[in-house]
Amino acid sequence: MKIALVGIGKIAVDQHVPAIAASPDWELAATVSRKGSVDGVESFSDFAAFLAARPDVTVVSLCLPPVPRYDYAEAALLAGRHVMLEKPPGATLAEVHALQAMAAARGLTLYTTWHSRMAHAVAAAKAWLADKAVTRAHITWREDVRKWHPGQDWVFEPGGMGVFDPGVNALSILTEILPAPVHMTAATLEFPANRQTPIAAQLRFSGNVTADFDWRQTGPQTWDITVETDRGPMALRMGGNVLEIDGKVAGGENSIMGEYPALYARMAELVAAGQSEVDLAPMVHVADALTLGRRVVVDSFDF
Ligand code: NAP
């Protein structure tokens, strides 16, 4: 199937282009980006011009930041294209509900991807937890914003979500693996004095679940979820890629390179089956944190 990539920036180049190139299901037939392009692929700088010129490309994958993404998703669905959305799937919950209704009314596929759910050990962790009682869980998601979002001021603009941009990856895993849902009860959000979104957050959920997100960590990065159960401890490390049970490695692989190929394989299945997959559970927690959060002002941040 022919697919177009929209928003040729960091994640498109790092992950989407190689995943599509390696896929047996997809041919990268066009790109749409104001500045970016991919060698050997027809490029457009205007989305409406692409939609008019290439009716043969029936699927679009939107790799733009969340705030500008909605207009592209709406235009694509109105033009009869299936749509795959980077995470987080929107800047607000309501706009994703609107897209979901639009796709359903037209019989089109809408896929809200959560790449971290495709990490090597997430399915195994979910299966291990399925018949256990969780007594406590903690997320530590600490990374260096300068490494992963170099110069990307949009993450600190309204709708950019700040530290929840990576934090929602942890929440996408949490909401996938826990045998029963939890809800947020308190949050502390640390806002740099010169920015609109938090650079760190401490979250408390029902069921003894807590989270510590921080974008100021240099050196080794930490993407861990530890879970205590009635039958011993489990941990997911390296962003869901490595599983530990009772303190010993029990599965997974220390590499993130399988996540995007798995997303594109899933999109191929959904289009072939005429189905959508829309899950907003991780983003509900982000919205709740921004609703409940106690604001703390910290040092200004510049890239
Ligand atoms: P990015 O490089 O800053 O932006 C991607 C591209 O979107 C840009 O190159 C730009 O292309 C286009 N764009 C940006 N702002 C726009 C606007 N206002 N209107 C139209 N086009 C605009 O961001 P990214 O890091 O790739 O992140 C994009 C999405 O992927 C985010 O939702 C992020 O959460 C997700 N993601 C990022 C990473 C990561 O490591 N960075 C990892 C996983 C997922 P043109 O200027 O050429 O139009």
Mean pLDDT of 273-284: 98
Q: Which domains does the chain have, with CATH numbers?
A: 2-112 (3.40.50.720), 120-253+287-298 (3.30.360.10)
Q: Which atom of ligand 1 is nearest to the CA of 64?
A: 7
With cut-offs at 50, 70 and 90, classify the pLDDT of residue 255. confident
Phi, psi for 50 (deg, rounded to 5): -60, -50
Residues 160-174 have pLDDT tens digits of 999 999 999 999 999
Model pTM greater than 0.95? yes
Q: What is the DSSP letter of 293?
A: P
Question: What b/e string do you get for 252-279 counting C-beta neighbours within 10 Å, with b at 16 or more?
Answer: beeebeebbbbbbbbbbebbeeeebeeb
With cut-offs at 50, 70 and 90, classify the pLDDT of residue 234. very high
How far away, in angstroms, is 7 Cα from ligand 1 center? 6
Strands 2-6, 27-32: pairing is parallel
Residues 143-162 have pLDDT tens digits of 999 999 999 999 999 999 99
Angle 164-177/122-129 helices, nearest 10 degrees?
A: 40
Residue to probe by mutation, ligand 1, list 5, 6, 8, 10, most atoms within 8 Å of CB:
10
- Atom 9 of ligand 1: nearest residue by CA position: 9
With cut-offs at 50, 70 and 90, classify the pLDDT of residue 88. very high
- Answer whether residue 256 shows pLDDT above 80: no
- Answer whether residue 279 shows pLDDT above 90: yes
Q: Is 10 a catalytic residue?
A: no
Q: What is residue 281's predicted lDDT score, i.e. its pLDDT? A: 98
Q: How many residues belong to the chain?
A: 303
Q: Which atom of ligand 1 is nearest to the CA of 45?
A: 48
Give the C-alpha distances (Å, rounded to integers) separating 68 from 63, 79, 173, 288.
Answer: 10, 18, 25, 22
